[in-house]
Structure 1
Amino acid sequence: MKIIYLCFILVSIFCSSTCCQAQTKSLFNGKDLSGWHADVPDMDNNPSVKSPFIVRNGMLVSMGNPGGHLITDAIYQNYRLEVEYRFAGEPGNCGALVHASTPRALYKMFPKSIEVQMMHENAGDFWCIVEDISVPDMEKRRGDKNKWGTTEDKLRRILNLTDGTEKPLGQWNRMVIECLNDSVKVWLNNDLVNYGFNCTAQKGQIALQAEGAEVEFRKVALTPITKLSEKQ
């Protein structure tokens, strides 16, 4: 009888914990770009220009050109974003933007946001785009304090913490971005590559870039961070 009672308690605890956990949802359905919209300046006045964001073989693909952003319709706060990506051909530039808001706030192209860099051999860097964030060893990783800023011609790049975390070209990289209150943490292939705090934004849209290189995304998933999962 005691064994049966103990089993009942364990099952109850397991079920309660499972039910309270936030559920991961895919932001990309593998079929179309529902839930997203493209902001590509070259498309404004030229109907012949095609969007650089397409769906191919069940993957979300950024063709790289013309430059622009694919932005979620929804606004998110306190979450973990998991992205699996690879450069389809030549290595190049791309990024995932969090806390995105005002479109074309920088260089009439980039939305106000914090960019988590995906550029080959620089993945995990922060770029401040009319929003700001602090990190440990700030001057070492950002440069001359007098030149810091969030707009054109300022030092907006904050170097990541590690080298050699990217997979060889052609292989899939897994990036996890955790946005919790005013902090942003980034893991690349299970290595913590950046950590920032005192972020000037705590919510916003999520965006993926078209910035010159073809990039394939096979997973873009979001898990809300609840009080329970925050403690885990």
Structure 2
Amino acid sequence: MRNAIVFLVLLFLISSCNTGTDETIQLFNGKDLSGWYADVPEADNNPEIDPSFVVRDSLLVSMGEPRGHLITDSVYQNYRLEVEYRFAGEPGNCGVLVHASTPRALYDMFPKSLEVQMQHGDAGDFWCIVEDIEVPNMVVRRGPKDEWGITEGKKRRIPNLTDDSEKPLGEWNNMVIECFADTIKVWMNNDLVNYGFNCTARKGKIAVQAEGAVVEFRKLDLTPLNEISSTE
């Protein structure tokens, strides 16, 4: 009961701070990949490799292979990111990375960041990628404290709060990620599915993954909260 009260109080405090918004930015323009660049390790020695990310029928498509990331040119902080996506074929793995910075910081693949999971059945999980975050009921959610970590071999996953917020395969999901100061909140189809605080990063680039499954995106819209985006 005490943990539930603390959780609700924290949600109220954060929500009360996020009152000012600015004009929404379409990170994906529906035409091309302007404003983004791909980091695909396999392409280092094979520049003719098939692209991991394409625009098809006005959709941004993560082809799943070869694996890598599509990353914004700009750095953002204090924003609400709305993502509409669906798995185009077989269910699989993908994710949205926020506060991304140092490239290939984990497994020579993943940029330093905080991942919001899109994997079918687990959408809304947090994965710590050389950045960290806290949630209510940390031991229950993350496991024994001595096993926590943000690098290879550590417990980096923090499961979401619900099991039934995703749409059936083939239907469009709406994910909203709100990053404000050191907090991150996630909604799936209007359900609050995760909330974290004391994140070790407050700003960074945004990335989407190619991680084995074909995923279509029809919206990646960012609305600044109180402060506008910045560019490196």
Give the structure 1 partner of residue 7 of structure 2.
none
Distance (whole Å) between structure 2 residues aligned to residue 52 and residue 114 of structure 1: 21
- 3-state secondary structure, aligned to 1:204: strand
Give the structure 2 partner of residue 91 of structure 1.
91
Deviation by residue 1:7-61 (Cα, 9 ceiling, x = unmatched) = xxxxxxxxxxxxx741111001111000000000000011221221000000000
Deviation by residue 1:63-87 (Cα, 9 ceiling, x = unmatched) = 0000000000000000000000000
**Residue pairs, 1:80-159, within 5 angstroms:** 80-159=80-159
Give the structure 2 partner of residue 184 of structure 1.
184
Identity of aligned residues (%): 73
| Structure 1 outlier segments of 4+, above 3 Å | none
1:101 partner amino acid: S
**Residue pairs, 1:161-176, within 5 angstroms:** 161-176=161-176
Give the structure 2 partner of residue 209 of structure 1.
209
Distance (whole Å) between structure 1 residues aligned to residue 67 and residue 100 of structure 2: 17
TM-score by length of 2: 0.88
TM-score by length of 1: 0.88
Give the structure 2 partner of residue 29 of structure 1.
29
Distance (whole Å) between structure 1 residues aligned to residue 113 and residue 211 of structure 2: 16
2:67 partner amino acid: G
1:92 partner amino acid: G
1:47 partner amino acid: P
Larger gyration radius, structure 1 or structure 2: 1
**Are 1:61 and 2:61 an aligned pair?**
yes
Distance (whole Å) between structure 2 residues aligned to residue 72 and residue 43 of structure 1: 18
Report if aligned partners of 2:63, 2:213 keep a CA contact under 8 Å in 1: yes
- 3-state secondary structure, aligned to 2:149: coil
2:204 partner amino acid: G
Deviation by residue 1:81-121 (Cα, 9 ceiling, x = unmatched) = 00000000000000000000000000000000000000000
- 3-state secondary structure, aligned to 1:141: helix
Distance (whole Å) between structure 2 residues aligned to residue 112 and residue 119 of structure 1: 19
Distance (whole Å) between structure 1 residues aligned to residue 208 and residue 214 of structure 2: 12
**Residue pairs, 1:3-82, within 5 angstroms:** 21-82=21-82
User: How far did 1:178 drift?
Assistant: 0.2
- 3-state secondary structure, aligned to 1:192: strand
Count of aligned pairs: 208
